[in-house]
Amino acid sequence: MLSYSTVSLAYSPERQAMMMDAIELWPLCVEVARALSQHYVPAMEEKAGELQLPSEACWLLLPALSFEPESISAERLRIRSPYPAPKKIAAGLEKMAGLGFLLPANGRNGAYWLSDQGHEALDDIISAAYTAMAGLLPLPPDELEDLSAGLWKLVCACEVAPEPPGKWSLSHSRQLDPGEDAPVMVRIDQYLGDLAAYRDDAHLATWEIHDVSGHGWEIVTHIWRSGPMTLADLAERLASRGFSPAEHRQSLEALMARGWVDVAGDEYYLTRLGRVVREAAEVETDRYFAQPWACLSDGEMADLQTQLIDLLHML
């Protein structure tokens, strides 16, 4: 298996075109990951149902496993996922503790460890996912192994990349690695998840320097992508995040005080400054994220694209 120390990161000017190709390849990686998840997420949800777990259990308990031996809390979860309301995450963790899947961490209010019951439940849920993927061979085994090796090389490069300054999300994603003896589709899914975690790290590094809340930044992003929006529009878009209409309005007022957002009638829109800030963050995210891809030769990049396209067509 490739080690981190063997990865070469050569960021010469000649690699810039290739790095742009990496930015264009990432949406394909996302499509493959989503298509693959359709093969194992139903198995996970079915197993969770058998264990009488609530629907949000997998997405709260799995991060707890990735944090071990440290405890988990709403505050820690929001480092990678700063967009939901803290009270929503805290309520979910409290619910899992009430069901016996988490144990309160001694002396730390709102912090938890996985209980034995939680470990057993996760073992069953993860096994269900791995079983669903073990028999999945959409391409010849040697082609899948080549794809796995290329993705692993990228993950190694992300580990040693000089930017962004922190790799919180990636390091915790790596905690869930099933090992090199796992079925090839399980490894591919893991490495795609690792790359997604690194992209989260890259994006977080670009906007947290502004000392803006995750809620506020997500509002900026929605308006940037969709154009002017009313408070009702934003509340509908962000309904799953757990914020009240008053909290949406409060975040909008904070953004207006910064000069990033303004209002015309009942529609909020990005000012010139707000658009410049948001677009600059996207450019920096791409720059951070693309750098590790310089570890791939032109031929390896072309092979990766072909393999991903072939896999997507067969999933």
Q: Is residue 166 part of a domain?
A: yes
Q: Is residue 177 part of a domain?
A: yes
Q: What share of the chain is helix, strand, coil (3-state, %, to 5)?
A: 70, 5, 25
What angle separates helix 57-67 from helix 16-50, to the nearest 10 degrees? 120
Q: Is residue 236 part of a domain?
A: no
Q: In what order do the strands lie in the sheet with 111-114?
A: 72-73, 111-114, 102-104
First-to-final CA distance of the chain:
26
Global pTM exceeds 0.85: yes
Total domain count, the chain: 1
Can you tell me which residue has the tokens 């067509």? 313
Q: Is residue 224 part of a domain?
A: no
Q: Is residue 155 part of a domain?
A: yes
Q: Is residue 28 part of a domain?
A: yes
Q: Is residue 203 part of a domain?
A: yes
Rg (CA), the chain: 21
Per-residue pLDDT of the chain (315 residues; tens, 9 = 90+): 333 333 344 445 555 565 567 778 999 999 999 999 999 999 999 999 998 888 778 888 888 899 999 999 999 888 888 999 999 999 999 999 999 999 998 767 889 999 999 999 999 999 999 999 998 999 999 999 999 999 999 999 999 998 776 799 999 999 999 999 999 999 999 999 999 999 999 999 999 999 999 999 999 999 999 999 999 999 999 999 999 999 999 999 999 999 999 999 999 999 999 999 999 999 999 989 998 998 998 899 999 999 999 999 999
Q: Is residue 168 part of a domain?
A: yes
* Boundaries of domain holding 81: 4-207+284-314
